[in-house]
């Protein structure tokens, strides 16, 4: 028998916080946003709830960036661009990428693609401009 979870204002607030941002936050960021509203909130509570949301598919992990796991409440198919300099994470809508990309992946796997996590890395526009070699 599947256990049912008791309704929790903190759990609702954590999910609302996740859904209200596009910054692909860490657990620590969510904690800092909610601590003024819930003074008794613990970082462990945030981690446990994010793990539960991840396990039930409500949010997804995009992996570790800068040593911290980053999360995304947008669970529809899309890719991410991660700046290797500043750690900024940006959503890339798949409808603007070449559809042949998924077709090629299915062909190479000799199977059917049923899900994916696609990440691109490089320098964002700001870091690219800042780190651009100067002509002497």
List binding-site positions for Zn(2+): 83, 86, 124, 127
How many whole angstroms separate alpha carbon 117 and alpha carbon 127?
24
Strand partners, 69: 64
* Residue ranges of the binding site: 83, 86, 124, 127
DSSP structure string for 60-96:
EEEEEETTEEEEES--SSEEEEEETTT--EEEEEGGG
């Amino acid at each position: 028998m599947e256990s049912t979870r008791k309704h929790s204002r903190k759990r609702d607030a954590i999910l609302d916080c996740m859904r209200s941002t596009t910054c692909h936050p860490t657990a620590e960021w969510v904690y800092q946003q909610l601590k003024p509203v819930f003074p008794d909130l613990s970082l462990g509570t945030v981690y446990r709830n994010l793990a539960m949301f991840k396990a039930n598919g409500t949010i997804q992990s995009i992996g570790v960036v800068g040593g911290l796991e980053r999360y995304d409440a947008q669970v529809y198919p899309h890719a991410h661009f991660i700046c290797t300099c500043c750690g900024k994470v940006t959503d890339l809508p798949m409808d603007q990428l070449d559809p042949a990309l998924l077709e090629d992946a299915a062909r190479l796997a000799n199977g059917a693609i049923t899900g994916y996590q696609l990440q691109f890395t490089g320098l964002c526009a700001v870091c690219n401009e800042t780190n651009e070699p100067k002509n002497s």
